Amino acid sequence: MKNFAICYNKTIEHSAEVMHQVKQMLLKHGMTAESHDIDDLKSGYDFVFVIGGDGTILKAARFYARTSTPIFGINLGRLGYLSQSSKEDIKTSIEKILNGDFRIEDRIMLQSGEKIALNDFVVKGTTTGRTSRFSLKINGKLVCDYLADGIIVTTPTGSTAYGLSAGGPVISPLLNAFVIVPICPHTLTARPIVIPDNEVITICSDKDLTNYVASTDGQEFYEFAKEIEIKKSRYTAKLALLDGVEFYSVLRNKLHWGISPANI
């Protein structure tokens, strides 16, 4: 790897400071790196360090997935579920990366039109404070109708985000599957569905409403009138993961999975 970039979120405290720290560490190892604000990303790199919270990493992942560029997250946010390093561990992390002690994990993504998402697509009605009616089709076949606040279509990577909060299952990122999770459905029989990632999901709006709104990773919002088709993207997010760090340890350490509340 020769061409490095450092993306940082200048709205997050200490992000510029950490960006300069990473740049200096790379210089000490004979490497140079260009820095970019998360709102002004550029391509043409072999490897990208991303400084910020999960939202910063999601935005960078969508951008760099289109050029198959690996990204490595340094957390300055709250949870930092997608990050591999904290600012206290930067020196060790950079040394491991430069020594090749990491792996690249391809994470499947969702796509609707030209929009892509690493975590999820969320569909809701535009009428605030009211439930909406949705029809769900898979491969063109009607599955069910929902009366709910919305529907989440999530990847395994995103299963620990909004989908988990809405009652969906945790899915290993190594599985080729998607999860469809209704948000506050008005029936006890409406439950999350896990489907293969080669199936096409269509969410149809209620004909009595003018528009529905969809979001990608909770960051890009756009309206649609009749239906939205969501499927597996041709792009994958390439996350750089340090050797020795695996999915279940992240569940334990960051989500306090299976730990007694008295020990948190």
Catalytic residues: 54
* Token pair recorded at residue 152: 């989440």
Q: Residue 2: CB partners within 8 Å, gap ≥ 6? A: 31, 46
In the chain, the DSSP E strands lie at 4-8, 33-37, 47-52, 71-75, 85-86, 102-112, 115-117, 120-125, 132-138, 141-148, 150-154, 177-183, 193-196, 201-205, 212-216, 220-224, 227-242
Contact 74, 50 (CB under 8 A): yes
